[in-house]
A and B are shown apart, each in its own frame.
Chain A
Amino acid sequence: MKSTKKTSVKIPPYEAVGVVCAQSIGEPGTQMTMRTFHYAGVAEHVPTGLPRLIEIVDAKKEPKKAIVDIYLKSSYARSRPEAEKVAKELASVFVSDVADVEDDLEALTIKATFNEKDGKAQGVTFNMLKKALESFPAEMKADDSAVTLKPVRETKTPAKASEKDKDKKEKKLTAKAVRKLTQKVRDSIVRGIPGIYKAVVLKGQDEYFIRAGGFNVIGACEHAAVDPKRIYTNNIKEIERVYGIEAARNAIVREIKDVMDMQKLFVDIRHIMLIADATTFGGSVKSIGRHGLSGEKVGVLGRAAFEETIKHLINASAFAEEEKLIGVTENIIVGQTVPVGTGKIKLVMKVPKKK
């Protein structure tokens, strides 16, 4: 056979790509352990290095510090003021940001005093605050700069509330409930998209874009100025949910690559792609480990050799599982050649028939 560059670069059959991949990432990873923990104590730091890598590989539902990069349609992306305007509209403003919320436990009321200065800075008017507070189960009284809420008990459905119940259950509102509600009032949103906060405008290559905390991708895309094709978040599960598994695969590759690059560790992208493929090929993002890939191996012995040995053995016996000796570990345990590399190559020949 003619050997070309293309054929020589091809991976030969039965090459143990997984082990090579694991070693290629694991070896530089040991150096990462030593370095990252020295960053301890830096406030509000986005996890990088090993902690982040673990997050990705464990397929965490939500990263410790979710971030969303929102790119804008070209008409908004040109100038910083334009972008900043959009950023303001996106980032959620909490009641506590623009008003002092105090509860009066004797009168059982909650008073929110609008702070003109903060409101102006956030671009929030008193009317917006009033509107935000309307949804609470309370009677609302407002003067020029403060809203007083008198919480009422949510009435039960009339069918359920019998005469007897009425007497007993219609207790007075407790101070504890008011306290609880006060916190809810503080945390409610006056303006902006829930799940997106602290938006900052950054300069990209030749445009301005917004980086914000949170990951409400769908919410952000509803804004007219946002380009839904380019929005990106480091929350892989969210990407999977919104854009599908292929996008999630690409996000995994990108996130791992970012971690490695940041640490100045250079790993061939194909190793990272293999990890991304392995975690996503089943149609959903799976973790590597007990609850994911390793826990779904075919062989009982392979699973038992990894973690929770006895659980796997007992389950296998309960269902009379058969070990087909397909994996590597299984064959090593039993004492056979491993179905990798030279172990899979078999000689096939025709035996001449005896006459």
Chain B
Amino acid sequence: MMVKRRKRKAAPERTSIFLNGRIVGTHPDGKSLAQRLRERRRTNELSNQVNVYYNSKLNELHILTDKGRVRRPYIVVENGKSRFTPELMARIKNNELNWNHLVKMGIIEYLDAQEEENSLVAFSEKDLTPDHTHLEVDASNIFGVVAGVLPYSEHNSSPRITMACAMAKQSLGVYSANFNARYDTRGYVMYYPQQPIVSTNIYRALNLKDKAAGQNVVVALASYHGYNMADAIVVNRSSIDRGLHRVAMFKTYETEERMYPGGQKDKIELPTPEVVGYRGEEAYKHLGEDGIVMPESDVNGKEVLVGKTSPPRFLEEISVFGAVEEKKRESSLSLKSGEKGKVDSVMITEGPSGNRLVKVRVRSVKTPEIGDKLASRHGQKGVIGLLIPQEDMPFTKSGIVPDLVVNPHAIPSRMTAGHLLETLGGTAGSIGGMLMDGTAFGGNTEEQFQEILRKNGFHEDGEEILYDGLTGKQIKAKIFVGVVFYQRLHHLVSNKMHVRSRGPVQLLTHQPTEGRAREGGLRFGEMERDCLIGYGASMLIKERLLEESDKTVQLVCSECGSIATHDYARNRDICPICQSESVEPVEMSYAFKLLLDEIKSLYIFPRIILKDKG
């Protein structure tokens, strides 16, 4: 019951020295030792990868040389003065020095998570005090590589930055320069990628414009007849027709001539009608003589890409007339149902086990459609809610028609002011004919943008008078229009859309299959069932769970209560257990019939007692 408060152990008088977590000795003054070690590192007597951390509470000194520590660079500060002087800056501009020189000279050093605890880092040079030990190389360095790519993040709320980072990774662009030579299982390539007008220094440092993933589009912040409610986006159909956010999807299908025990082998060929499971002439119409599709042929639905036959599954199937008449099975590779495209290229190689391997790459164009997902770089995502022709879009007096109409309700509660600033910067950039810098804590300012807009005869806060495309009347409110970098995210409806009315069922339970890939149904689950019970909708439950699922009519022996069979030879129903012919058809779920079978496997004999309905 009594909890004695443990006395904190006094720190030992001599500092314990740890090397990579293992104790190696002691020292009378760890703090000054740490400082001396750091000096040596800065004068290159120690490797710059060594980090030193002194814990004054425990009086421990940790020297870390391990691999796998995350480290980041800082400018060294001495007596409140940055070691990085304007002279050095000038020498860098003259190409006399580079980053590695600065590291060697002890002007820039890398700290790990531990040594950071011993340092006080100034955010900018003017914040420096004598207590500071380091200075950020650039204020925007506090963001990582991914967040550093986003413009004006210092004007956005942090959750939106997180979301923008997550979404930037889903954007479609040019994922690899050699995409044409690759056979990725799935890949998207954007038709006309653009570099953003407003970018950041990290974006430029990474040279991301060479693998851009998005386009600069004209965005109007307005509501449009309710079609952009709740984060929907209205898109100009004419822009899409001109190639806006157009993407090609590549998908690779592959099949192999497998070997079977007994020396049998698959064969890639054009299947003949004798093959078991022949799919009809239509399905094979794109195949060449070798049983492989011709490049650039239009493929659709379940059409075959590579014809293939396999040996029979059971050896007994070999006919009585001798082994010659061997029945082959159809095992062709076909396009997934619901998909279509053009055969982009075909590759015939050898698989890892030396078998013949065929890879077929199918290409299909994915133009933006209702339901596709778009996002700016400020965590402002939305799905396309409506495509409307340019004629019906609002326009300005100079004839600018927005590509996107985004609902202004998306802004205030999410506090993404950076989005608005980028809009302004994008406009200024496109009017002034230059690229803008949106680096956090130091990009181009609002005032600079306004200056450009004013000089070019635009309203300085980016607002425009719009005219309704449907009526031609001036819209009463001024509307904020500007150029924003939008990304298309790889959640395309066409890859997700799924419907079913009738369709395949599972072999075991006779219930509908599950999942889009199997053309499955949507499960009417237990909780849904409970709701119908609660509502008392008895007939509806029966319809969902029986009629639309696994209804069967089984013959039941009215004498012994077991499942009976129909004897086709004598055309009569008979109970296989008691040989009785008084057999009745009973409607039940196939799952129940299965349950009865499984109960029988437990050595329990379940009987069905029949009674008249009523």
Q: Which residues of A are interface residues toward B (Cβ below 8 A)? A: 14-16, 19-20, 22-23, 310, 313-314, 317, 322, 328, 332-344
Contacts and interface: CB of A to CB of B under 8 A. Distances in A.
A344 B530 CA distance: 17
Contacts of B602: 310, 313-314, 317
Contact of B599 (A15, A313, A339, A340): A313
B82 to A, nearest CB: 46
Contacts of B538: 337-344
B589 interface: yes
B536 A14 contact: yes
A342 B599 CA distance: 32
Contacts of A14: 536
A83 B533 CA distance: 54
Contacts of A343: 536, 538-539
For the complex, would chain B's binding face be called helix, strand, loop or mixed by DSSP majority? helix
A338 B533 contact: yes
Nearest to A343: B538
B145 interface: no
Given A317-B604, A335-B545, A340-B533, 16 more contacts: A16-B535, A19-B530, A19-B533, A19-B534, A20-B534, A322-B609, A333-B592, A335-B546, A335-B551, A337-B538, A338-B542, A340-B536, A341-B536, A341-B537, A342-B537, A342-B538
A16 B533 contact: yes
A328 B592 contact: no
Q: Which 10 A-B pairs have the closest CB atoms?
A: A341-B536, A343-B538, A335-B589, A317-B604, A19-B534, A335-B546, A335-B588, A337-B538, A338-B538, A342-B538
A330 B542 CA distance: 13
B595 A333 contact: yes
Nearest to B540: A342
Contacts of B609: 322
Nearest to A19: B534
A340 B546 CA distance: 17
Contacts of B567: none
Given A335-B587, A343-B539, A16 B604 contact: no
A310 B609 CA distance: 22
Nearest to B588: A335
Contacts of B529: 332
- How large, as a class, is the contact surface on chain B? 20 to 34
Contacts of A332: 529, 541, 545
Interface in B596-614: 599, 602, 604-606, 609
A344 B538 CA distance: 8
A313 B604 contact: yes
Contacts of A335: 542, 545-546, 551, 587-589, 592
B604 A314 contact: yes
> Which of A19, A310, A335, A341 gathers most chain B CB within 10 Å?
A335
Nearest to B549: A335
B199 to A, nearest CB: 42
Contacts of A344: 538
B530 A23 contact: yes
> Which of B535, B541, B591 gathers most chain A CB within 10 Å?
B541
Contacts of B545: 332, 335
Given A19-B534, A317-B604, A334 B589 contact: yes
Given A334-B588, A335-B551, A335-B592, A342 B533 contact: no
Interface string B316-340: 0000000000000000000000000
A304 to B, nearest CB: 9
A212 to B, nearest CB: 18
Interface string B416-432: 00000000000000000
A313 B603 CA distance: 11
Contacts of A313: 599, 602, 604
A322 to B, nearest CB: 7
A76 to B, nearest CB: 31
Contacts, number: 70
B474 to A, nearest CB: 50
Contact of A23 (B534, B539, B551, B591): B534
B537 to A, nearest CB: 6
B551 to A, nearest CB: 7
Contacts of A333: 589, 591-592, 595
Interface string B383-405: 00000000000000000000000
Interface in B522-536: 529-531, 533-536
A49 to B, nearest CB: 23
> Which of B534, B592, B599 gathers most chain A CB within 10 Å?
B534
Interface string B541-563: 11001100001000000000000
Contacts of B604: 313-314, 317
B388 to A, nearest CB: 42
Contacts of B546: 335
Contact of A337 (B539, B599, B606): B539
> Which of B533, B587, B591 gathers most chain A CB within 10 Å?
B533
Contacts of A22: 530
Interface string B577-588: 000000000011
B588 A338 contact: no
Contacts of B605: 317
Nearest to B605: A317
26 contacts: A16-B534, A19-B533, A20-B534, A23-B534, A313-B599, A313-B602, A313-B604, A317-B605, A332-B529, A332-B541, A333-B589, A333-B591, A333-B592, A335-B551, A335-B587, A335-B589, A336-B542, A337-B538, A337-B539, A337-B542, A338-B538, A341-B536, A341-B537, A342-B536, A343-B536, A343-B538
Contacts of A328: 533
A328 B609 CA distance: 19
B600 to A, nearest CB: 11
B425 to A, nearest CB: 43
Nearest to B595: A333
A334 B542 contact: no
Contacts of B535: 16, 341
Contact of B536 (A16, A334, A336): A16
Contact of B539 (A19, A310, A322, A342): A342
Contacts of A16: 533-536
Contacts of B588: 334-335
Interface string B280-292: 0000000000000
A344 B531 CA distance: 17
A317 B535 CA distance: 34
> Which of B536, B551, B588, B599 gathers most chain A CB within 10 Å?
B536
Nearest to A332: B545
A9 B533 CA distance: 20
B534 A334 contact: no
A14 B605 CA distance: 34
B562 to A, nearest CB: 14
Contacts of A317: 602, 604-606
Interface in B458-496: none
> Which of A16, A322, A344 gathers most chain B CB within 10 Å?
A16
A314 B604 CA distance: 7
A52 B52 CA distance: 52
B136 to A, nearest CB: 37
A19 B533 CA distance: 7
B268 to A, nearest CB: 46
A182 B585 CA distance: 78
B536 A15 contact: yes
Contacts of A342: 536-539
Contacts of B542: 335-338
A22 B604 CA distance: 34
Contacts of A322: 609
A318 to B, nearest CB: 9
A303 B535 CA distance: 23
A191 B589 CA distance: 69
A310 B588 CA distance: 22
A352 to B, nearest CB: 19
A341 B592 CA distance: 23
A334 B542 CA distance: 10
